[in-house]
Amino acid sequence: MNYEAVIGLEVHAELSTKSKIYCSCTTEFGGEPNTHCCPVCTGMPGTLPALNRKTVEYAIKAGLATNCTISPFTKQDRKNYFYPDLPKGYQISQYDLPLCKDGFVEIETENEKKRIRINRIHIEEDAGKLLHGEEDNNSYIDYNRTGVPLIEIVSEPDISSAREAKSYLEKLKAILQFINVSDCKMEEGSLRADVNISVRPKGSNHLGERTEMKNLNSFRSVYRAIESEIARQIHVIKSGGKINQETRRWDENKGESYPMRSKEDAQDYRYFPEPDLPPLIIKNELVERLKKELPELPDARKQRYVSEYGLPEYDAQVLTSSKELSDFFEETAKQSTNVKAVSNWIMGDMLRILNERNLEIVDIPFPPSYLVRLITLIDKGVINGSTAKNVFDLMFDTGKDPDNIVKEHGLEMLKDQSFLLEVIEKVIRDNPNSLDDYKKGQKKVIGFLVGQAMKATKGKADPQILNQILIKRLED
């Protein structure tokens, strides 16, 4: 029996407004505990919420960018429950009239494009942060984060695999970054995902019992957790057991999930309309204005890279996976005549170095024009390919422009024919059998000898000239 997975994601993204959703405290990440707070966001008696206009506008933009319908009439509701990180004992959220509905996002699967539908997007406030004492029996609360505006994006259960979930999450992240409403940093908690998973026999119309997975702090966790849960559920069913509808907590270190205390499931939130906040009428003019303000979205940009720059789909996909990456690429491509090379450098060496050194695009210590210059140096034959890689590394180390680096380190390609001939002669002398091997017809010898010559010149020789000289020499 083959099983298929039915997966839905609930994604929370922190909106990058200056001030919180219901008060004028900063939304800045970090800071000493309880220093970004006021009577409103700490729920002191007598305080009232005042809705931040930008929160609504950003949420509408997120809805427009995901093809949602924007509700013409919307309101906020109280979600009532007790937890120490929730200062008022209720969260102001939206219940039955969310701001955005019925949208979708397109992802690439192995074979084709797939549409993941979005059920709703609504605005709500974030809660505080809890720290649990290691040795003592206490917990500690920091309310800096309470009141940071969130949008909750709820997908339909259209996702069928961990890979699709990851793609969906990446696409949402790219979209939200492109439209500048969230910086979507999972490590900082500005993008969070909870996953709902069930399995069923392939082709069945029935929905299996589902579980909810929490504590997914990275894309990798999302992927691993889903794979793990699908496997676990299939295993349980195959062994004749039943899936309990429960919330499970993912442990990234152990690579396993555990059921959380089931009292979570029995919550009666007693939703009712928030009496302290007047409802909202979203007029067409506002929606149209915000639509016009939307920048080019990732998919549109990707298409443009394919048609305008002639890049393959795969390259365009990678380059539009994040706004910063895409912006860096565009800046560089604009100034360069060799867009394919730009694409290759960024997708290859640059992403590798960023990964190795744990850097973000914003940390790159040089401007796009330096990369353009580097490529020009190669194209003009000033340096060769492998030198260029060294130069690129040095650009990251020093932030200096490539011309400077090449001069300082004397990395210009060696092209002097007589000098190179001497090098070749020495290489051949050092490898006497090579001549014979060549005469015997082993063309591989050329590569080997060129390699040796490159070594001798510390990689600076012009490989084409070397090749020419070598072949001429061998023929003689």
Partner 1 sequence: MQITIQDIEQIALTAQLELTAEEKERQLEKFNKLFQDVEVLAQVDTSEIEPLAHVQSIKNVLREDLLQESLSQEKVLQNAPDQEEGMFKVPKII
Partner 2 sequence: MQLHEYTISELSSLISKKEISILELTQHMLGRIEKLDSELGCYISIVEDQAMEQAAKVQKMLDKGILTSPLTGIPMGIKDNICTEGILTSCGSKMLSNFVPPYNAHVVKKLYNSGSVLLGKLNMDEYAMGSSTESSYFKKTRNPWDTERVPGGSSGGSAAAVVAGEAIYSLGSDTGGSIRQPASFCGCVGLKPTYGLISRFGLVSYASSLDQIGPLTKTVTDCALVLNAIAGHDPMDLTSSRRIHPDYTKALINDVKGMKIGLPREFIDDSVEKNIRDAILNAVKVFTDLGAECVEISIPVMEYVVPTYYIIALAEASSNLARYDGVKFGYRASNPKDILDFCKRTRSEGFGTEVKRRILLGTYVLSSGYYDAYYKKALKARAIITREFNKAFEQCDIIIGPVSPTTAYKIGEKINDPIQMYMEDIFTVPVNIAGLPAMSIPCGLDNNSLPIGLQLLGKRFDEQTIIKTAYTFEQNTEFHNLRPNLNV
Q: Which of 3, 4, 12, 33 binds partner 1 (CB under 8 A)?
A: 33
* Minimum distance from residue 44 beta carbon to partner 2 (Å): 7
Select from partner 2, partner 1, none the partner in contact with residue 19, using the beta carbon and a kind-dependent cut-off of 5 to 8 Å: partner 1
Supply 424's token pair. Answer: 């070749």
By CB under 8 A, tell whether 210 contacts partner 2: no
Asked if 463 interacts with partner 2 (CB under 8 A), we say no
Which H or E run contains 168?
helix 162-178
Instruction: Return the residue of 46, 203, 240, 275 that touches partner 1, per CB under 8 A.
Output: 275
> Under the criterion CB under 8 A, does residue 47 sit at the interface with partner 2?
yes
Choose the contact partner of 88 out of partner 2, partner 1, none; CB within 5 to 8 A by kind.
partner 2
Task: List the alpha helices (DSSP H) in 383-416.
Answer: 385-398, 402-409
Q: Burial code of 213-246, b = ≥16 C-beta within 10 A, e = fewer?
A: bbbbeebebbbbbbbbbbebbbeebeeeeebeeb
Give the Cα separation of 157 and 108 in Å (integer): 17
Question: Which helix or strand (DSSP H or E) is residue 453 part of?
Answer: helix 444-456
Minimal distance, residue 245 CB to partner 2, in Å = 17
CB of 45 to partner 1, least distance (A): 10
> Looking at 44-52, 164-172, 222-230, 348-356, which segment touches partner 2 (CB under 8 A)?
44-52
Output the smallest distance, CB 371 to partner 2, in A: 49
Sign of CA dihedral 315, 320, 321, 327: positive
* Tokens standing for residue 389: 């890689």
Q: Which one of 49, 63, 157, 298 is in contact with partner 2 (CB under 8 A)? A: 49
109 binds, among partner 2, partner 1, none (CB under 5 to 8 A by kind): none
State the minimum distance, in angstroms, from the CB of residue 272 to partner 2.
6
Round to whole Å and give the CA distance between 188 and 156: 26
- Of the candidates 353, 332, 351, the one whose C-alpha atom is nearest the C-alpha of residue 342 is 332
Nearer to partner 1, 260 or 361 (CB): 260
Residue 276 sits in the site that holds partner 2 (CB under 8 A): yes
Sign of CA dihedral 377, 379, 380, 384: positive
- 138 or 239: CB nearest partner 1: 138
Q: How far is the CB of 396 from partner 1 (least distance, A)?
A: 35
Pairing mode, strands 113-125 and 129-132: unpaired
Q: Are 125 and 91 in contact (CB under 8 A)?
A: yes
Does residue number 273 form part of the binding site for partner 1 (CB under 8 A)?
yes
User: From partner 1, partner 2, none, which one binds at residue 46 (CB under 5 to 8 Å depending on kind)?
Assistant: partner 2
User: According to CB under 8 A, which one of 201, 255, 259, 278 is a site residue for partner 2?
Assistant: 278
By CB under 8 A, the residues from 67 to 86 that bind partner 2 are 78, 80, 82, 84
Residue 78's binding partner out of partner 1, partner 2, none, with CB under 5 to 8 Å set by partner kind: partner 2
| Local structure of 128: helix, strand or coil | coil
Asked if 50 contacts 22 with a C-beta cutoff of 8 angstroms, the reply is yes
The whole-angstrom separation of Cα 203 and Cα 160 is 12
Q: Which span (38-46, 222-230, 239-247, 388-396) binds partner 1, by CB under 8 A?
A: 38-46
Residues in contact with partner 2, counted by CB under 8 A, come to a total of: 30
Pick out residues in 75-94 that bind partner 1 (CB under 8 A): 75, 82, 84
Cα–Cα dist 332/349, whole Å = 15
Contact (Cβ atoms closer than 8 angstroms) between residue 158 and residue 152: no
Contact status: 139 vs partner 2 (CB under 8 A): yes
Nearer to partner 2, 109 or 139 (CB): 139
- Specify the DSSP element, H or E, that contains 118: strand 113-125
How many angstroms separate the CA atoms of 323 and 329, rounded? 10
Buried b (16+ CB within 10 A) or exposed e, 154-166: bbbbbbbbbbbbb
Rule CB under 8 A: choose which of 6, 11, 55, 87 binds partner 2.
87
329 binds partner 2 (CB under 8 A): no
Using CB under 8 A, which of the segments 155-163, 239-247, 270-278, 317-325 binds partner 2? 270-278
- Residue labelled with tokens 């001497």: 422
Tally of CB atoms within 10 A around 355: 9
How far is 358 from 458, CA to CA, in rounded Å? 29
Question: Smallest distance, Å, CB 338 to partner 1?
Answer: 43
Nearer to partner 1, 250 or 328 (CB): 250
d(CA 259, CA 419): 72
**Binding residues for partner 1, per CB under 8 A?**
17-19, 24-26, 32-39, 42, 50-56, 75, 82, 84, 130-133, 136-143, 261, 268, 270, 272-273, 275, 277-281
**Binding residues for partner 2, per CB under 8 A?**
39-40, 42-51, 78, 80, 82, 84, 87-90, 139, 141, 143, 268, 270, 272, 275-278
